[in-house]
Structure 1
């Protein structure tokens, strides 16, 4: 005699719920696999884009070049601003001999003065050196002046030298009257200095020369 299994309404409903739950789990697993594959594929595409972007943001870094004499070309020299007569001034640096320890000081080269010298400051005075480097940038757009105060320097500030205490010195620029004057940021002193009127002038509000930030470009 054949046996018959009698499913009540309750047991049938439970079975339907169980089957539905299994189907739902299977569907979610399938969706998860598809999403994972899509994300992995997307990440690969993103990496490819980042790699391509790295090639786009490469640039010729600024360099310090020895100034030989008045005939030295200033074609690629970085124009740091203008003097009171609206002529171009340039960023320079020298090996200073004023302190007991060797110092590398950033300063200003003004060809319009008629003197091929880099003017820097030290100990309340300004000094001219005839043996110096000038800052050269084939692409001047990689450099930008950023405002700061009280000896601070923004992220990306270009190193212009080093003090006798081995402090890194950044390049400062200050607007005084109708001209611009270039000097140094001295964090230990909480101020910046520029040469003005053959003297060292203290400035607490100034601009700092920085490498342009390409991280968001």
Structure 2
């Protein structure tokens, strides 16, 4: 195919240029131009075919010699206190400087929501996932926790007013099926995990016995990629 294209290009140029009336210098320039155009066509086709072939993988994106690998964290059920927290993603610390984790629940609202929140295994009087909807806070005993064998794939990025950075990890769905990103805010002396609600231009957290809104917050983002 490439040979035919180059040959066709040569024929068109040959028809356009009157070699019989051209000087030796002009013929040399014309022949060099034809050869250059033919080479560029060949290279262009080869590069295009190579990229299309490399991009066929469903797990990796490959462009020439560069390979981008994506590894996403996972959600696992928290059964009881015997559930291992070895690979659970440490999202911050509470007011006693103890680790807190990202959790999510299926709410009992109508219509239902999938809500991210705070799991504090060292909190007194309750052991569950604290989330907020409406204007109150709720504790769910059946929930999932976020785990990542390599926590460096996740990073907190600052944002405001219901916005989320590129690469933000979706932690749930609102009643309107909007993505809810995972938010973090420092309130008093502790950190809390909640949701970014773009439709309402704020992030919301379960704090004390009520809902706390924030215009400035951090968002959990994926930054797991490698070039090789």
TM-score, normalization by structure 2? 0.76
Instruction: Name the count of aligned residue pairs.
Output: 200
Corresponding residue number in structure 1 for 2:29: 24
Task: Give per-residue Cα distances to partners, 1:92-143, cap 9 Å, x unaligned.
Answer: 011112x321121110001121432100112222111111100111221221
- Note the C-alpha offset of 1:151: 1.2
Q: Which stretches in structure 1 are left out of the alignment for 5+ residues?
A: 1-14
Does the CA contact (< 8 Å) of 2:131 and 2:138 recur in 1? yes
Contact 1:95 1:105 in 2 (8 A): yes
Deviation at 1:42, TM superposition (A): 6.8
What CA deviation, in whole Å up to 9, does each residue of 1:69-101 have, x standing for no partner? 00100111111111122211100011112x321
- Give the equivalent residue in structure 1 for 2:219: 208
Task: Report the CA distance shift for 1:22/1:59 in structure 2 as closer, same or farther (over 3 A).
Answer: closer
Equivalent residue, structure 2, for 1:82: 93
For structure 1, which segment, 32-41 or 125-134, has the greater mean C-alpha deviation from structure 2 after superposition? 32-41
- On the 8 A contact 2:121/2:127 being kept in 1, the answer is yes
Which protein has the larger Cα radius of gyration, Structure 1 or Structure 2? Answer: 1
Looking at structure 2, the residues matched to 213 and 155 of structure 1 have their Cα atoms a distance apart, in angstroms, of 13
Q: Tell me the SS of whatever aligns to 2:85.
A: coil
1:106 maps onto 2:116 in alignment: yes
- Which of 167, 175, 178 matches 1:167? 178
Q: Per the alignment, do residues 44 and 138 of structure 1 end up closer, same or farther by CA in structure 2, a change over 3 Å counting?
A: same
SS in structure 1 of the partner of residue 23 of structure 2 = helix
Extract unaligned runs of 5+ from structure 2.
Answer: 1-19, 55-61
| Separation (CA, whole Å) in 2 of partners of 1:213 and 1:119 | 28
Q: Which moved more, 1:115-124 or 1:86-95?
A: 115-124
* Aligned counterpart, 2:66: 53
Using the TM superposition, name which of 70-79 and 156-165 deviates more: 156-165
Once superposed, what is the RMSD of the aligned Cα atoms?
A: 2.7
